[in-house]
């Protein structure tokens, strides 16, 4: 990635310019059998659409707080990069009552109702399917996002020194986040082309770094696995081989 990249959105733009066709996020849910592979270009398109939804439809801007109540999932990764693109602070497991926007999954819908601002629900079903009917008090992400624009430009330039992420009760700016991701990538031995399998949850910095930010900073990719404990040792070995995994954290 470029040394001048100072936000996660910058890292994604550099990845897109370098090799849009390479895999970036491969997601497995071993409870449902789902597998989704997103190239840099496909992932960036989801990010652009989600950022347009966030900025345009939800009227969120720099400094606003978004409570992200989602597990480790490819759509969670999309929301994190969309927040970075707009300048919205993503609070992992944040208090919905203090948030301007809440993004909730099937297991956190009730908690998310404490948000007095905009509420978005994700079914987290295979293929990004919508809910049969939007949950009460929420807009369905799968209904709202497809019509959004494929290109995104922020109304206000994002300040790399402004708060960008809160996890483990620690707030990081975009610049601090990128610096830490680069440090973590070096500590893990990640390099361009590295492919890390992560079974860690997104509720900690370690999980976020291994499952998104460090491979993005290194020019690598992630095989993000949910419910990995259901796979078994033999299945894990086969996945590591078939996905050409170079590093594993679980």
pLDDT tens track for 163-219: 999 999 999 999 999 999 999 999 999 999 999 999 999 999 999 999 999 999 999
Q: Provide the β-strand partners of residue 67.
A: 91, 102
Q: What is the pLDDT of residue 2?
A: 76
Average pLDDT over residues 119-128: 94
Q: What is the pLDDT of residue 142?
A: 97
- Report field, pTM of the whole predicted structure over 0.85: yes
pLDDT band at 3 (very low <50, low <70, confident <90, very high): confident
The Cα–Cα gap between 108 and 65 comes to 17
CATH 3.40.50.12780 fits 8-249, yes or no: yes
The DSSP result for the chain, as a single string, is: --TT--SHHHHHHHHHHH-TTSEEEEEEETTTTEEEEEEHHHHHHHHHHHHHIIIIIS---TT-EEEEE--S-HHHHHHHHHHHHHTPEEEET--GGG-SEEEE-TTSHHHHTT-SSEEEE----GGGPPPSSPPTT-EEHHHHSTTS-SS---SSPPPTTSEEEEETTEEEEHHHHHHHHHHHHHHHT--TT-EEEE---TTSHHHHIIIIIHHHHHT-EEEEEESGGGT-HHHHHHHHHHTT-SEEE-
Is the model's pLDDT at 127 over the cut of 90?
no
pLDDT band at 1 (very low <50, low <70, confident <90, very high): low
List, for residues 136-166, the tens digit of each pLDDT value.
Answer: 999 999 999 999 999 999 999 999 999 999 9
List, for residues 60-111, the tens digit of each pLDDT value.
Answer: 999 999 999 999 999 999 999 999 999 999 999 999 999 999 999 999 999 9
């Amino acid at each position: 990635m470029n040394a001048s990249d100072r936000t996660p959105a910058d890292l994604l733009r550099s990845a897109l310019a370098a090799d849009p066709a390479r895999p970036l996020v491969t997601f497995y849910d071993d409870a449902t059998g789902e597998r989704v592979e997103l190239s840099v270009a496909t992932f960036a398109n989801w990010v652009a659409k989600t950022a347009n939804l966030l900025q345009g439809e939800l009227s969120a801007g720099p400094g606003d707080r978004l409570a992200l109540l989602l597990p480790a999932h490819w759509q969670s990764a999309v929301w994190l990069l969309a927040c970075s693109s707009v300048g919205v602070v993503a609070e992992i497991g944040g208090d919905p009552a203090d948030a301007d926007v809440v993004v909730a999954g099937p297991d956190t819908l009730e908690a998310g109702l404490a948000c007095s601002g905009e509420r978005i629900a994700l079914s987290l079903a295979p293929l990004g399917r919508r809910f049969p009917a939007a949950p009460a008090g929420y807009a369905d992400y799968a209904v709202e996002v497809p019509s959004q624009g494929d290109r995104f430009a922020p109304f206000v330039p994002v300040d790399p020194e402004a708060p960008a992420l809160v996890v483990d009760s620690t707030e990081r700016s975009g610049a601090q986040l990128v610096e830490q991701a680069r440090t973590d990538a070096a500590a893990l031995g990640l390099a361009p082309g590295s492919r890390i399998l992560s079974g860690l949850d997104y509720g900690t910095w370690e999980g976020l770094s291994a499952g998104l930010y460090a491979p993005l900073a290194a020019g690598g990719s992630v095989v993000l696995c949910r419910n990995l404990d259901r796979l078994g040792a033999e299945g894990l070995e086969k996945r590591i081989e078939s996905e050409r995994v170079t590093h594993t954290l679980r």
